Amino acid sequence: MRLILIISIAGTGIFTFIKNLNYTSFFFLVVFVLLFIELFNFIKNTYLFYDKTIMAMLNNDFSADFSKHSDFENYKNLFKLYDVLKSREHEQLTKDVVYRSILDNIETGVLILHKASKEWEIFQMNEYFSTHFQVPKLSKWNYLKNYLPSLCNIIEERSFQDFRISVQIRTDTSEHQTYMLQTSKTVIFEQEYYIILLDSIQKIIAKKEKDAWINLMKVISHELMNSITPIRSLTQSLNEFTQQDALSTEDIEDMKNCVNTMIHRSDHLQNFIESYRKLAMLPTPNKERVELSTLINNSLSVMVPLLKKAEISITTTITNTHWIMGDANQLEQVIINLITNSIYALKNSQIKEINIITQIKNNRNFIIISDTGHGVDKEIEDKIFLPFFTTRSDGAGIGLTLSKNIIEAHGGYLNFKNFDKSTSFTICLI
């Protein structure tokens, strides 16, 4: 509209000048100049408005209010872009606050580095890292080396690569403490980041011990309640019988049943306590020089009747003569327990086979007992070594726990692996 008006004024001015209407043409000239100046200012302000708005968006400044300009059709797309970026900025700020709050509330030291040019800078340091290691919120990696030289030297020696090791770190006011150090490098949009995680070994052990105690107490309380609840109920029934003036033959029979049930549940509770004592009072291994094949053959001689009855074939592969230092009786008990578990696992299997293999690797002796059973369900993989945990109706739930404790008392370890159609338990002994 401004351009049309300016062109109209210019045309009219030229027409009046041709007609020698000098005053009129001068008037139109003045109007033309004023309109041209107004158009220039309008275009200039429009560009300034766009420029200021874009600069505000580039600087993440979304404090402006454009509600008074909402009727300006020329700025419609600009306002839409501004609102979208403003919404995204608020969403990102919310996420940053949540993530920072999570980092500051976990009991793990978290340090994130960002590589700017050729130097590493500290991108993020959580509150636990700063407080636990008494390090202020620094911005440069070189500054951190003044506070934690042992940690920084370990990372620099490995050239800021991914690794996971246990380290000892000492601050100015404390003794050396052991930590699990885990690092990882990542590149996002050509930006390189390095994440450092530090967990106190003492806290990890304490947490595992706490979890183990909680699980143990759950099992013990479950077993106790299974016995105490019916005994209490039966005792109340017996108390009601004693309140009667006369007892019928049926009442006497009920009393006998109550007493027999109480005896049965008491026996179960006593057996449970005896099982617990076996775990808690495991004797120190009486180590002697033991030949491995003799150890396995002695264990199998005990199991032969059960293996024949269950129609299970068993094969042993002992390549060489192996001698170990251990308590023969305790180690035989471990092998018997594992074979017993395999017999139970093969109960519903079409192919019933147990394989026992011995190996020597890195001066360590391995006994691998595998079967073609259904394997350990994923849901219970982390529970099979828990005391009193069992999937068998006639099981006490201490076989694997006792076996694990015996092997660990010998300085070795016991673990298992699930395969497609088999399960293997591995005994490692020095």
Instruction: Give the largest CA-CA distance in the chain.
Output: 144
CB 427 within 8 A of CB 371: no
Give the Cα separation of 343 and 337 in Å (integer): 10
CB 288 within 8 A of CB 328: yes
Q: Which residues lie below 8 Å from residue 220, measured CB to CB, with a gap of 6+?
A: 276, 388
pLDDT digits (tens), the chain, 430 positions: 778 888 888 888 788 878 777 778 888 888 888 888 887 887 777 777 777 777 777 777 777 666 656 556 667 777 777 778 888 888 888 888 888 888 888 888 899 999 877 889 988 898 888 888 888 888 888 888 888 888 888 898 888 888 888 887 765 555 667 788 899 998 888 889 999 998 877 666 666 667 767 766 776 676 677 677 777 787 888 888 778 777 778 878 878 888 887 887 777 677 666 666 665 566 778 888 888 888 888 888 878 878 888 888 888 888 767 788 888 888 888 888 888 888 888 887 888 888 888 888 877 888 888 888 777 776 666 667 766 666 665 555 667 778 888 888 888 888 888 776 677 888 888 7
What angle is formed at CA 128 by the lines to CA 147 and CA 113, rounded to 5 degrees?
60
Give the Cα separation of 111 and 88 in Å (integer): 26
Give the Cα separation of 238 and 148 in Å (integer): 71
Question: Domains in the chain and their CATH numbers?
Answer: 2-90 (no CATH), 106-201 (3.30.450.20), 204-280 (1.10.287), 288-429 (3.30.565.10)
Kindly state the tokens that stand for 232: 């209490």
CB atoms inside a 10 Å sphere around CB 78: 17
DSSP of 83-151: HHHHHHHHHHHHHHHHHHHHHHHSSSEEEEEEEETTEEEEEEE-HHHHHHTT----SBHHHHTTT-HHH
Please state the pTM of the whole predicted model.
0.44
Q: Which residues lie below 8 Å from residue 64, measured CB to CB, with a gap of 6+?
A: 53, 56, 82
The single-letter code of the amino acid at 81 is: L
